[in-house]
Amino acid sequence: MIKLINKMLNMFTQVLGLPYVAAKKIILVLYKITLQVINTLKITVILVKDSVVKILKGIWYSINKVIDIVIKSVTGIVNAVKKVTISVVKAITTVVKSIWKYLFKGIKYLPKILKAVGKWIIAAIKESIAQIFTLLGFFIAWLTLTGSAKDIVGIAILISTALWLLTIGLRKDV
Other Cβ atoms closer than 10 A to 13: 16
Which of 134-173 are b and which e, b meaning 16 or more Cβ less than 10 Å from the residue's Cβ? eeeebeeebeeeeeeeeeeeeeeeeeeeeebbeeeeeeee
- pTM passes above 0.95: no
Round to whole Å and give the CA distance between 157 and 161: 6
Q: Provide mean pLDDT across the span 64-92.
A: 93
pLDDT for 90 beyond 90? yes
Q: Provide mean pLDDT across the span 143-147.
A: 91
**Structure confidence at residue 67 as a pLDDT band (50, 70, 90):** very high
Mean pLDDT lowest among 9-18, 19-28, 34-43: 9-18
pLDDT for 76 beyond 60? yes
Name the residue ranges covered by the structural domains of the chain.
2-66, 110-171
Residue-level pLDDT at 69: 93
Angle between helices 110-130 and 147-166 in degrees, nearest 10: 130
